Chain A
Amino acid sequence: MAYRLRWKRRRLLWRSFRKRRQLSAVIDRTAAIRPGAILAFSTVRNEAIRLPFFLDHHRKLGVDHFLIVDNDSTDGTREYLAKQSDVSLWRTPHSYRLSRFGVDWLTWLQMRHGHDHWCLTVDADEILIYPFHNTRPLSALTNWLDQQGKVSFGALMLDMYPKGRLSAQTYMAGDDPRQILQWFDSGNYLIQRHEVLNNLWIQGGPRARLFFDRNPVRAPTMGKVPLIKWNRRYAYVSSAHSALPRRLNHVYDTAGGEFASGILLHTKFLHMIAEKSEEEKQRREHFENSSLYEAYYDSLAGDPDLWCDRSTRYRGWRHLEALGLMSRGTWL
């Protein structure tokens, strides 16, 4: 098995290597990356409205450089990113799905620039938080992980949603999306361990509750390993949900204890979602079997209310930790 996975990893790396020509640099500031810098990698498409807060939040956490692939945006995303002094930007008009949802492109960039750096792989609609994130920068966390001999850090993707219809409140670029997306599901996550990759396959949250309650297997995966001390031989398998070699996926304790872990606040459900879902449904670029997800897209396009009277209001990381959605482990 280990042998097969090694070949799988090599195949993935080769695949990304071949796709390198799909990327053309818009602006390459990677020469400014210093040893030990913390890097963020992301593929974006039409995210102009989310990016100001996204960059701002992760800058404050201590991300030193952003390496971003723009997949054919038409809303000024590219121009906005090119102006940022800590962003290196590539563009590609090629298929997002055939690039394994952007992973091939990012793997290539990680191979080139991520080696020996702590690399955060996040989407533009994800906001990383971790225990003590408002008093300790990311470098404190990565330093501690280094000291513990850990090379990866796990997170739960937490769908945040508003109360009422999704389009009822309009989000303005630069605002903290948590002001609108105040709610989340605190205790309906179903976890199983992936037999081969050893990662935890976590499903749940409002989408499972409302759109996949008849077909749970298809419910979106909520566990991620977004922060990895990268090596050029590493590769993500599916999005940032799992990686190879598989020891990177071992971000959980199996003996009863708790490792430190974080949360990716998922800010997908802002007012733009209805329009975006319609577009995603047409493009058929977001799932392997896009036809199976048509009902899901239709529900989202129908401007639903994800809130229920058992939803929990966001009150900061200490609350999330008390709920058992993340843990400080021994990082006190």
Chain B
Amino acid sequence: MSVGIVMLVHTALGRAEQVARHWSVAGCPLVIHADVSVPNKTYHAFQKSMSDLPNVRFSRRHRCEWGTWGLVAASQSASEMMLKEFPEVRHVYLTSGACLPLRPVQELLDYLAVRPLTDFIESATTADVPWTIGGLDAERFTLRFPFSWRKNRYLFDRYVALQRRIGMKRRIPNGIVPHMGSQWWCLTRQTLSAILSDPERGTYDRYFSKVWIPDESYFQTLARQYSHQIESRSLTLSKFGYQGKPHIFYDDHLQLLRRSDCFVARKIWPQASRLYDAFLTDEAGAMNRTEPNPAKIDRIFAKAVERRTRGRPGLYMQSRFPVESRENGLTSSKYSVFQGFSALFENFEPWLARATGARVHGHIFAPERAEFSDGEVVMNGALPDSAALRDYNPRAFLANLIWNTRGERQCFQFSPRDNQDINWDIAKDPNAQISVISGAWSVPLFKSNQDFADIRRDAALLQQIESKHLEILRSSWTKARVRIWTMAEFIEAPIEPLQTIIDDIAPHTTQRGLSEVPKMIDLTGFGQFLQNLKNQGMHPYLMGNFPVSHDLQDTRKNARKPYLVR
């Protein structure tokens, strides 16, 4: 008993011959079908080159265009020839010229010998398969497809649309249930001959010749009628890429293919000499009785498809540039923005770095330069601190910073003095965690040595900028995690908000509470300062309510007794 190989070839005949010899020498009879598109001269040379092999036949040639009936017709005539000419054949294995046996042929023979009645053909109903491309699944069997999808895409689409509109439906003959699956099967003589000599075959052939991609459904459907035992899987490792094009294996896939334990793989790049050399030297001794295991390769492919469709979030490059609505956020990982904290606390940045272990930058959108942590002038990825480069494309600057430091949490300070062009981008970024003490920009003014007229002017401007920013942060488009306190609220009870922020950044490090809190700037006289602004006709409101007198006592108390260990 042996296995007969039906091989469909159309290009790279040299490789096809090499593989055919491999099968033939190992004792597998072959029937080769060459596409009509192979020029006669080439075909005859090909035939002649294999004339020394006694168990190779060539079947009648059909035109095999992808997705058409020709492929089925070719398989049919080659299979008929196989069954007739080689009576000792028990299993017929359908392969292509780009298939490569990965394991010694003897192992395949042994494997099939202990499963003499099993048909290996992937076969599932249309409702159950996820792999159909282009939305045609059940309709493959109920519409007509006289136009080539490859050559006449327009007519193909128009005719499908027309049939859909007028509700044209084909009747499926004899109540068969359409099944689909990989076109590379291995059937027993019993099943295959039953399909080929069925008295109803004319009906089925007529029906399937108008089905779309019949080579994925003809044998898959009819095998269900006759088989005693179907293993619904293909013995051929054949992967399909993102758009339903067969995946090609190259030299660098050698290890991957070795580990797959599959019997045959397609499709092999014709110039992949390393693969052909490695797998066509029959290691007779290396008996390997493991089951084929394409799952390993599947995982790698799933990952690749994900990379193709989702990409690496937060990465912008020459071949990935998502339009705004398609990217869920600007950046690759979480980061925190602090507004007002460094104005209110003397040593906020080093304190935050100690408390969270994150990298804490200064005002990276400051007008003079990007104040990276520890006074660095160039950050990871050679990102420079130049304000001009940053302001030229602030989105790219922020996305770069977060991408370049992936694996390390980034925190930075922000204030109404900084470049505000980035506000919407941060607000719409779900990776951003924004904490704002509104009105805290007034503290540096309060402490400054400017003329009061200038202070008043600056305060009005900054308040205007910040209130616009707060409007953005409170808008319904905002996806960032936003927390806003007025300054008055915050200094009333600063520990709790600080604790929540820290817990958000580093949930595991501070389970027992803060061991240290940053030192607040002395606010003695701040209430009076605000009152002075009011007296000058400006209305400072973002900092909340600071009564002139009460505030004095309050902050004095604070100054004497800074917040301490809890």
- Give the interface of A toward B (CB within 8 A): 132, 135-137, 139-140, 143-144, 147-148, 154-156, 185-193, 200, 202, 206, 208-209, 212-217, 223, 251-261, 308-312, 324-330, 332
B382 interface neighbour in A139, A143, A144, A206, Cβ under 8 Å:
A206
| Cβ-based interface call for B407 (8 A) | no
Q: Which 7 A-B pairs have the closest CB atoms?
A: A187-B381, A261-B319, A213-B386, A185-B382, A187-B404, A216-B392, A259-B319
| Cβ-based interface call for B300 (8 A) | yes
- CB within 8 Å for A136 and B308 given contacts A155-B318, A186-B382, A330-B241: no
Chain B nearest CB from A188 CB (Å) reads 5
Q: Looking at A185, A255, A260, A332, which has the most chain B CB atoms within 10 Å of its CB?
A: A332
Complex CA gap A185/B383 in Å reads 8
Tell me which of B395-403, B519-527, B549-557 binds A: B395-403
Chain B nearest CB from A266 CB (Å) reads 14
Q: A255-B322, A327-B317 are in contact. List 16 more A-B contacts (CB 8 A).
A: A132-B250, A135-B250, A140-B248, A190-B392, A191-B321, A192-B393, A216-B392, A217-B392, A253-B321, A256-B311, A257-B307, A257-B311, A308-B378, A324-B312, A326-B317, A332-B304
Chain A nearest CB from B233 CB (Å) reads 22
| CB pair B308 A188 closer than 8 Å | no
Interface string of B279-316 (1 = CB under 8 A from A): 00000000000000000000011001101111111011
The residues of A that contact B310 with a CB separation of less than 8 Å are 256-257
Within 8 A of A (CB), among B384-398: 384, 386, 388-389, 392-393, 396-397
- CB within 8 Å for A189 and B308 given contacts A223-B318, A259-B319, A332-B301: no
| CB pair A191 B382 closer than 8 Å | no
Complex CA gap A48/B248 in Å reads 39
Chain B contact surface mostly? mixed
Closest to B324 in A: A254
Complex CA gap A218/B305 in Å reads 38
- CB within 8 Å for A258 and B308 given contacts A140-B269, A188-B381, A209-B384: yes
The residues of A that contact B311 with a CB separation of less than 8 Å are 253, 256-258
| CB pair A187 B383 closer than 8 Å | yes
A324 interface neighbour in B242, B250, B305, B403, Cβ under 8 Å:
B403
| Cβ-based interface call for B326 (8 A) | yes
Interface string of B400-418 (1 = CB under 8 A from A): 1001100000000000000
| Cβ-based interface call for B62 (8 A) | no
| Cβ-based interface call for B516 (8 A) | no
| CB pair A189 B320 closer than 8 Å | no
Contacts A/B (CB < 8 Å), 29 sampled: A135-B252, A136-B269, A148-B245, A154-B319, A156-B317, A187-B403, A187-B404, A188-B382, A191-B316, A202-B318, A208-B389, A251-B319, A252-B318, A253-B319, A254-B321, A254-B322, A255-B323, A256-B311, A258-B320, A261-B318, A308-B378, A310-B381, A310-B382, A312-B381, A324-B317, A324-B403, A327-B319, A327-B320, A328-B304
| Cβ-based interface call for B225 (8 A) | no
Chain A nearest CB from B16 CB (Å) reads 17
B248 interface neighbour in A144, A154, A188, A189, Cβ under 8 Å:
A144
Complex CA gap A18/B307 in Å reads 46
Chain B nearest CB from A116 CB (Å) reads 18
The residues of B that contact A132 with a CB separation of less than 8 Å are 250, 252
| Cβ-based interface call for B197 (8 A) | no
Complex CA gap A309/B381 in Å reads 10
Complex CA gap A219/B322 in Å reads 23
Complex CA gap A311/B400 in Å reads 15
| Cβ-based interface call for B243 (8 A) | yes
Closest to A192 in B: B393
Complex CA gap A206/B389 in Å reads 12
Complex CA gap A253/B323 in Å reads 9
The residues of A that contact B241 with a CB separation of less than 8 Å are 330
| CB pair B396 A189 closer than 8 Å | yes
| CB pair B327 A256 closer than 8 Å | yes
| Cβ-based interface call for B88 (8 A) | no
Complex CA gap A155/B323 in Å reads 20
Chain B nearest CB from A241 CB (Å) reads 11
Closest to A224 in B: B318
| CB pair A215 B327 closer than 8 Å | no
